[in-house]
Amino acid sequence: MNLDLSISELAKKYRSGVVTPEDVLNECLENIEKNNPKLNIFITLRDRQELLAEARNVKFETLLSGIPYVLKDAYVTKDIRTTSASNVLNNYIPDYDATVVKKLRDAGAILIGKTNMDAWGHGGSSENTDFGPVKNPWDVSRVAGGSSGGAAVAVSARMAMFAIGEDTGGSIRNPAGWCGISGLKVTYGRVSRYGAIAYASSLDSVGPMAKNVEDLSLILELIAGQDKLDATSSPTEVPVYSKNLNLDLKNIKIGIPLEPDQAIKDALVKLKELGAEIMEVSLPMLKYAVPTYYLLAPSETSSNLGRYDGIRFGQDRSNFTQESMRRIIIGTYALSAGYYDAYYKKAQQARTKIIEDYNTAFEKCDVIVMPVAPTVATKLGELISDPVKNMLADLYMVTTNIAGIPSLAIPCGFEEGVPVGFQIQGPMFSEELLFKIGHQYQQVTDWHKAKPNI
C-alpha cells in the first residue's frame, strides 16, 4: 500500500510516474469510507471530486507536493467549516487560512479534511467533543487520546500520510503514543500560531504527526519559521532537519528522571547500543506540573473563550461542554480579584521553577526520556467521567509546554494489545537533535511500521 511508504519514498514514486497523487488520494478515501464510521475521525471532509481535481493538477515543486494530509479542526481554513469540535462554531466558515495551512497549500500538499478533537483542546481523550468520541484503531473500546485524537487515528489508520495537530499540554504526543505514530511538540514559537483557535496562548504549539520521524522532519522544515502575522513566532533560523538524521549518537547523553517501564527500558538499551550514554537526572518540580498547568491553561482559556460568550456571536452558553465550562470557571476564579496572587501568580512562579529544573538537568544531559503517558489508552468513558483522572493523564507531558521546550513522541512497543510510546525532550530549538535520536532508534526497531487491523 502506498500509504505505508514514507513521504520521501512516495515523492520518488510520484516523480518516476509509477504512482500518481490521484492514486494515493483514492486509497485515502477508500480507507475513510470503510473505517471512518467505526472510528469517528472526521468533522468535515472535502468534496471528493474537488480533491481529485486538485490531485490531477499537482505540480511537483516540493517533497510534499501531492501528499495528502488532515488537519485538526483547531485551525481556520478559508471556505471550509472550522468548529474546534464545539457547537459554538458549528456553522463557522472562515474567510482566511491559518499560516500553517497556507504554507502546506503553497507546497502542494492536499488537505483531505478536518479531524475530530476535544472541544477547544479541552481534554486528553477526544471524548469531550460535540461530534462524538474518536475511537482507537487498535481497540475501538478505547480512546484515541487527545486532544488531537482524530488527527492521530487518521495517520495510524492510513487515511492520510500526515497530520497537523496542536499541543497545549500533550495534545499531539498523547494521541501519537496511544495510536502508535510519531508526533512532535515544537519549541514555543518555532511554528506560527496565526489562525490557530487559541486554548492557552502561552502554551499552544503547532506541530506535525506522521508514521515516522523522517516524515516529521520534512514537514517541520516547511512549516517552521517566523511569521509577521504572529508576534510570538521566533526569528531563529530553521535548519534542514532531514539532513542530519543519519549521524550517530556517540557522546549523546540521555537523562532519565523516572524509573522506566519495560518498553522504555528496552528502548534505552537500543539507544545505548547506538552510542548514547544513559544517566539519572532529577526534575523535582515534576510533582507540581499538573496543578501548575491546570491553573495556567484554564486562566488563559477563560480569557480566550470570552470572545464566544454569547454577547458577540449570539450563541447560547449552553453550547459549551461540561469539561469546557469547568475549565472556564477554574480559570476565571484563578484570575479573580482576591485570588489572583494565591493561584495564578503562584502558578507563574512554579512555571519559573520548572524551567529552572530543566535548565539544570540539561547541564548534565543533552535530552531527557520519559513515558508519554502514565497508562495505555483508557477505555471509553473512563477519563471524561473523572475530571481528576483526566488531568493526571497529562502528568508527563505538560512540563514541556510550561517550559516552552520541544518533545518528540515515538512508539516503542505494546501493552494490553495497544501501543505505548516514549518522549524525548530537549532544550529550546533542539528539534534537530530530537529528530536524529528518534530516527536512529527507528532504524533499528519496527514499532513505527505496525498498523492496526481494523
Residue-wise pLDDT tens digits, 356-407: 999 999 999 999 999 999 999 999 999 999 888 888 889 999 999 999 999 9
Q: What are the CB-based long-range contacts (under 8 Å, 24+) for 102-107?
A: 103/222, 103/223, 104/64, 104/69, 104/164, 104/222, 104/223, 107/61, 107/62, 107/64, 107/65, 107/222
* Residue 152: per-residue pLDDT: 98
Strands 68-72 and 277-280: unpaired
Q: Are 299 and 344 in contact (CB under 8 A)?
A: yes
Active-site residue (options: 72, 114, 135, 451):
72
Active-site residue (options: 84, 86, 126, 147):
147
* Residue 247: per-residue pLDDT: 87
- Which pTM was predicted? 0.97
Least confident of 202-206, 341-345, 352-356, 417-421: 341-345
- For residue 205 the three cell numbers come to 504549539
* Residue 68: per-residue pLDDT: 98
Cα-flanking dihedrals φ and ψ of residue 343, to 5°?
-120, -70
Section 114-143 average pLDDT: 97
Q: Are 110 and 66 in contact (CB under 8 A)?
A: yes
* Domain spans, the chain: 2-449
Active-site residue (options: 84, 126, 156, 171):
171
For residue range 416-434, list pLDDT tens digits in order.
Answer: 999 999 999 999 999 999 9
Looking at the predicted structure, is the pLDDT value of residue 317 above 80? no
* Residue 201: per-residue pLDDT: 96
Looking at the predicted structure, is the pLDDT value of residue 185 above 70? yes
Residue 72 annotated among the catalytic residues of the structure:
yes
CATH superfamily of 2-449: Amidase signature (AS) domain (3.90.1300.10)
Residue 171 annotated among the catalytic residues of the structure:
yes
